[in-house]
C-alpha cells in the first residue's frame, strides 16, 4: 500500500515530532538552496531550523546526510530522499552553458553521497526559471482559504525572450542536453543505489515559452524521457496536480506509468480547471476523485510514498501551512486506509 509522507525543509525536532504525530511515515527534505530564495519560516521556528544545504560549491557530505537521516529516524520517521535539485545546479546543463561539466560533477557527487548515506531518492525537474511565474493571482477557496492559480492570459508578452536569454532554443537542443545529463548521472545512480525522479514542468504551458522549450509538459514526453537512457534507477516524481493541469485522466496516467514501473514517488494534489487556466484546491476537491487515484496506485502495486504538495493556506496558518498540510496528511491516510480495506 502507498505510504503517506511529507516534504519539509525544516528538520527541527519540533517539526519532525509534529509529522510523527500526524501519522506520516516518510520525509523528503526540501533542501535549502545556497543561491535561491531561502525558506520562509516564521520567527518562532527560525531559531530551531535544521536543514540540508545544496548548491554550487556546497554538496552535503556523507556525514551530513547521515546525520540528517539519523535525526529523522530518531523521530520515528524515514528520510526517503531529497525532494528536488535546485535550478542553480542543473540550469547550466539544461542550456549547455559554461559550468555544465562542473554542475554534472556536483550532481554525481551528491548522488554518490546519498547512496553512501542510505538515502534512496533524488527528485529533480527540468524546469527553466524566470520564464513565466509558476502562478498568477491567487483565488479564494471554501471558507475563505487561499489557493494558488494560473491564468496564461495574465502573462505579459509570453512570446518574448525570457530574461537573460539571448536567442530561442530548439526542442532538439534541449533533448540533447537532457540526454547528456542522463548519460552522465544514471550510471552513478545505478552504482549508488539511488533512484532519480523527474517532475513535470509547472505550469505545463505550450511547447516553448520565452524562447525556452518546456520538455516535460505531456505524457508522451515523459515516456520519451524514460526510454532515452533506460535505467531501473530512473522514474517519475508523479505530480498528480500537474497531470490534472494538463487535462489528463489522472487514474489512467497512474496506470500507464505504474504498469511501466516508472513511479518513484507521488506529489498528491489537484486543481480545478486545466491549461490555460486553473487553480489549486483542497485534496478532497478538484478534477479527479482522490479515492480513484489511490485505487489506481494500489492496482499497479505502488507501495512507495505519496506526499501533499502545494496545499492551500487556511486561517491562522504558518508559512509552511501546518494546518492545511495536517488536514491533507490526515485525509490521504484515511483514503489509503479505506482503499486498503477494499483489498483485503
- The CATH number given to whatever domain includes residue 295 is 3.20.20.150
Residue 175 lies in a domain: yes
As for how many domains the chain has, the answer is 1
Task: Provide the greatest CA pair distance for the chain.
Answer: 59
In angstroms, what CA-CA distances link 340 with 3, 150, 259, 302, 343?
11, 35, 20, 12, 5
DSSP E strands, the chain: 3-8, 26-29, 32-33, 53-54, 78-82, 121-125, 139-140, 146-147, 149-151, 195-199, 208-209, 212-213, 234-239, 263-268, 271-274, 277-280, 305-308
Residue 190 lies in a domain: yes
Which domain, by its residues, includes 321?
Answer: 3-131+168-269+287-342
Residue 60 lies in a domain: yes
The pLDDT value given to residue 37 = 41
Residue 146 lies in a domain: no
pLDDT in tens, 269-279: 999 999 999 99
> In this structure, how many other beta carbons lie within 10 angstroms of the beta carbon of residue 66?
17
pLDDT in tens, 99-157: 999 999 999 999 999 999 999 999 999 987 655 667 888 999 999 999 999 998 887 77
Residue 55 lies in a domain: yes
Residue 275 lies in a domain: no
Facing residues of 54 across strands? 33
* CA quadruple 93, 99, 105, 111: dihedral, nearest 10: -50
Per-residue pLDDT of the chain (344 residues; tens, 9 = 90+): 999 999 999 999 999 999 999 999 999 999 766 555 444 334 344 444 588 889 898 999 999 999 999 999 999 999 999 999 999 999 999 999 999 999 999 999 999 999 999 999 999 999 876 556 678 889 999 999 999 999 988 877 767 787 778 889 999 999 999 999 999 999 999 999 999 999 999 888 778 888 889 999 999 999 999 999 999 999 999 999 999 999 999 999 999 999 999 999 999 999 999 999 999 999 999 999 999 999 999 999 999 999 999 999 999 999 999 999 999 999 999 999 999 999 77
* Residue whose C-alpha is closest to residue 253's, from 300, 318, 291: 300
C-alpha cell at 193: 543505489
pTM: 0.94
Residue 154 lies in a domain: no
Residue 234 lies in a domain: yes
Amino acid at each position: 500500500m502507498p505510504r503517506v509522507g511529507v516534504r519539509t525543509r525544516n528538520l527541527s525536532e519540533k517539526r519532525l515530532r509534529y509529522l510523527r504525530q500526524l501519522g506520516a511515515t516518510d520525509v523528503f527534505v526540501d533542501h535549502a538552496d545556497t543561491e535561491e530564495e531561502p525558506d520562509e519560516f516564521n520567527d518562532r521556528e527560525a531559531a530551531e531550523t535544521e536543514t540540508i544545504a545544496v548548491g554550487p560549491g556546497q554538496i552535503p557530505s556523507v556525514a551530513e546526510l547521515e546525520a540528517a537521516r539519523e535525526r529523522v529516524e530518531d523521530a520515528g520517521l524515514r528520510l526517503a530522499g531529497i525532494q528536488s535539485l535546485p535550478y542553480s545546479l542543473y540550469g547550466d546543463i539544461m542550456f549547455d552553458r559554461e559550468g555544465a561539466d562542473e554542475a554534472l560533477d556536483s550532481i554525481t557527487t551528491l548522488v554518490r553521497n546519498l547512496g553512501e548515506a542510505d538515502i534512496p531518492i533524488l527528485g529533480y525537474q527540468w524546469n527553466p526559471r524566470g520564464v513565466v511565474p509558476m502562478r498568477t493571482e491567487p483565488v479564494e477557496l471554501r471558507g475563505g482559504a487561499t489557493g494558488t492559480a494560473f491564468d496564461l492570459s495574465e502573462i505579459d508578452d509570453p512570446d518574448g525572450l525570457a530574461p537573460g536569454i539571448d536567442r530561442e532554443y530548439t526542442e532538439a537542443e534541449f533533448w540533447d542536453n537532457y540526454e547528456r545529463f542522463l548519460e552522465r548521472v544514471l550510471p552513478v545512480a545505478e552504482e549508488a543505489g539511488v533512484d532519480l525522479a523527474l517532475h513535470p514542468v509547472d505550469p505545463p504551458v505550450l511547447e516553448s515559452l520565452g524562447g525556452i522549450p518546456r520538455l516535460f509538459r505531456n505524457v508522451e514526453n515523459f515516456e520519451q524521457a524514460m526510454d532515452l537512457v533506460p535505467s531501473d534507477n530512473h522514474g517519475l516524481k508523479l505530480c498528480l496536480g500537474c497531470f490534472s493541469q494538463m487535462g489528463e485522466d489522472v487514474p489512467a496516467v497512474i496506470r500507464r506509468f505504474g504498469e511501466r514501473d516508472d513511479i518513484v514517488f507521488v506529489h498528491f494534489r489537484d486543481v480545478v480547471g486545466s491549461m490555460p487556466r486553473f487553480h489549486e484546491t483542497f485534496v478532497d476537491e478538484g478534477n479527479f476523485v482522490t479515492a480513484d487515484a489511490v485505487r489506481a496506485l494500489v492496482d499497479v502495486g505502488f507501495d512507495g510514498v505519496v506526499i501533499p504538495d502545494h496545499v492551500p493556506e487556511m486561517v491562522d496558518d504558518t508559512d509552511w501551512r501546518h494546518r492545511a498540510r495536517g488536514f491533507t496528511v490526515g485525509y490521504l491516510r484515511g483514503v489509503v486506509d479505506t482503499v486498503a480495506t477494499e483489498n483485503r
